[in-house]
């Protein structure tokens, strides 16, 4: 794990951001500007003195010395090194260097719900069955169908059945119904487990009692899955997922920075709205198929928004890639981590706020260094060329070397000041 982290840090430091490319172009331009300034200095003073003498040569040398592009060359790399180090110390791993520079421009951050805004540690809260089926029978059927599923809800159902010491039948077959649920053949009958989309796809209308149960559970923020035996709904199971205590703090902090916050989930609208109401979300996308998550990100981008996506699952990978900046929770799947631009070691939504703070501070330091490096040369080169000679100031090469060294030191010290940044401060 440590070697992987070190590799990411090295890759981040090696890649170039737009600001670095700007500094490189400025340094390249400065080389030609210095040569041109030296030639102009030589020609002008030669004409003034009526020939080439030591004073002219000294001024040409001073121009070349003082215009050395060390400051511009170090302006960005020093800030990048400190930014990457600060990020790693705070549990933020940079996979794409450009992401940390552009994070400051995000105006929308969309979170996946399960495992990101919530703990992902689900449990069966309550269930209701039709009169002809017992709770144990319905739960055993659901556990059998969900036996090969890796979804947190499936795990909650299996754990509940195991907690009751139920005898779980062996399914004859298993099929994942993308975005809808799962199916298995048990004792010769097809049994389905899934949410509202499964009912829609099968054109099934649930009994009023189960429908009322689902509405009540959804109002509490609980997800509901149905157990369907053949074509008959036999049970509704409410599964609770705890909202992370830190989620509300993260969302409030983002909104204070002028960022709109959204949530994307495959849960029913009742569940999504309950969570959104608790957290104060601005945007809610509910009953979203896994394959469609990236389409909703695209929808926001087409409205002119700069979108950051935060997720942890395989289903989040396309949206992480599609977004302007994809942020993966470190406890998530390998696919999500590999699809993201930035990786959070902690499963804490508040870390997203740290990314924005670091991005803004880093960009500010980069601009300061570029302005200093460029501004210094704009003022220093004319002085070295002898523009101030009529007023009694003639800069010798040694003084030019000192000025050049001082400019480099200023850039280095300014970059080091970034280490004083406290990402936990408001």
294 is catalytic: no
The rounded distance, in Å, linking the Cα atoms of 164 and 362 is 55
Stretch(es) of the chain classified as CATH 3.40.50.1000: 93-119+243-354
Q: What is the pLDDT of residue 305?
A: 94
Stretch(es) of the chain classified as CATH 3.40.1110.10: 123-240
Per the CATH hierarchy, to which homologous superfamily does domain 123-240 belong?
Answer: Calcium-transporting ATPase, cytoplasmic domain N (3.40.1110.10)
Can you give the pLDDT of all 426 residues of the chain as single tens digits?
445 444 544 544 454 555 555 556 666 676 777 788 888 888 888 888 878 788 888 888 888 888 767 777 777 888 888 998 899 899 998 888 888 888 999 999 999 988 888 887 888 889 999 988 899 999 999 999 888 777 788 888 998 998 999 888 888 888 888 778 889 998 889 999 998 888 988 998 899 999 999 988 888 888 899 999 998 999 999 998 888 889 999 999 999 999 999 999 888 888 888 888 889 999 999 888 877 888 999 999 999 999 999 988 777 888 888 899 999 887 666 777 778 889 998 888 999 999 999 999 999 998 888 888 778 778 888 888 888 888 888 888 888 888 888 888 888 899 999 999 888 876
H/E segment holding residue 176 = strand 173-177
DSSP state of 118: B
Burial class of 335 by CB neighbour count within 10 A (0 to 12, 13 to 18, 19+): middle
> How many C-beta neighbours within 10 Å does residue 356 have?
21
The rounded distance, in Å, linking the Cα atoms of 103 and 90 is 16
> How many C-beta neighbours within 10 Å does residue 54 have?
7
The rounded distance, in Å, linking the Cα atoms of 118 and 240 is 10
Q: What is the pLDDT of residue 1?
A: 41
How many helices (DSSP H) and strands (DSSP E) are in the chain? 16, 13
Burial class of 116 by CB neighbour count within 10 A (0 to 12, 13 to 18, 19+): buried
The rounded distance, in Å, linking the Cα atoms of 201 and 256 is 42
* Rg of the Cα atoms in the chain: 31
> In the β-sheet with 108-112, what is the strand arrangement from edge to edge?
92-94, 342-344, 325-329, 307-311, 108-112, 260-264, 283-285
Read off the pTM.
Answer: 0.76
Identify which of 31, 39, 41 has the alpha carbon closest to the alpha carbon of residue 67.
31
- For 93-119+243-354, the fitting CATH number among 3.90.700.10, 3.40.50.1000, 3.40.1190.20, 1.10.3720.10 is 3.40.50.1000
The rounded Cα 316 to chain-centroid distance in angstroms is 12
Structure tokens at 66: 């003082």
Identify which of 342, 341, 294, 302 has the alpha carbon closest to the alpha carbon of residue 318.
294
Catalytic residue (choose from 101, 112, 241, 305): 112
The rounded distance, in Å, linking the Cα atoms of 424 and 407 is 32
């Amino acid at each position: 794990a440590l070697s992987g982290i070190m590799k990411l840090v090295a890759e981040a430091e090696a890649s170039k951001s737009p600001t670095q490319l700007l500094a490189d172009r400025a340094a390249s331009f400065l080389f030609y500007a210095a040569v041109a300034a030296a030639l102009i200095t030589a020609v002008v003073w030669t004409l003034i003195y009526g020939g080439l003498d030591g004073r002219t040569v000294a001024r040409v040398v001073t121009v070349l010395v003082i215009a050395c592009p060390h400051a511009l060359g170090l302006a960005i790399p020093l800030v990048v090194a400190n930014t990457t180090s600060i990020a790693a110390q705070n549990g933020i791993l940079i996979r794409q260097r450009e992401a940390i520079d552009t994070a400051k421009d995000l105006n929308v951050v969309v979170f996946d719900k399960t495992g990101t805004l919530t703990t992902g540690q689900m449990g069966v809260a309550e269930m209701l069955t039709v009169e002809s089926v017992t709770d144990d029978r319905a739960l055993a059927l659901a556990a059998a169908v969900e036996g090969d599923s890796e979804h947190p809800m499936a795990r909650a159902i299996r754990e509940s059945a195991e907690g009751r010491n139920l005898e779980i039948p062996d399914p004859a077959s298993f099929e994942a119904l993308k975005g809808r649920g799962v199916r298995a053949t048990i004792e010769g009958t097809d049994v389905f487990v899934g949410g509202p989309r499964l009912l829609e796809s099968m054109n099934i209308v649930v009994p009023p009692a189960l429908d009322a149960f689902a509405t009540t559970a959804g109002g509490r923020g609980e997800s509901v899955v149905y157990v369907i035996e053949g074509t008959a709904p036999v049970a509704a199971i409410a599964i609770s997922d705890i909202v992370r205590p830190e989620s509300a703090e993260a969302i409030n902090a983002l909104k204070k920075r002028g960022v709109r916050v959204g949530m994307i989930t495959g849960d029913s609208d009742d569940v999504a709205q309950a969570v959104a109401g608790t957290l104060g979300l601005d945007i809610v996308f509910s009953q979203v198929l896994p394959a469609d998550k990236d389409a909703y990100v695209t929808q926001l981008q087409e409205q002119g928004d700069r979108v950051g996506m935060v997720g942890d699952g395989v289903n989040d990978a396309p949206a992480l890639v599609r977004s302007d900046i994809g942020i993966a929770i470190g406890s998530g799947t390998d696919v999500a981590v590999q699809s993201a631009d930035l990786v959070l070691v902690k499963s804490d939504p508040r870390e997203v706020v740290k990314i924005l703070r670091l991005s803004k501070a880093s960009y500010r330091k980069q601009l300061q260094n570029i302005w200093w490096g460029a501004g210094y040369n704009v003022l220093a080169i004319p002085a070295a060329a002898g523009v101030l000679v009529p007023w009694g100031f003639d800069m010798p090469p040694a003084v030019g070397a000192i000025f050049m060294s001082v400019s480099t030191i200023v850039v280095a010290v300014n970059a080091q000041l970034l280490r004083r940044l406290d990402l936990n401060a408001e």
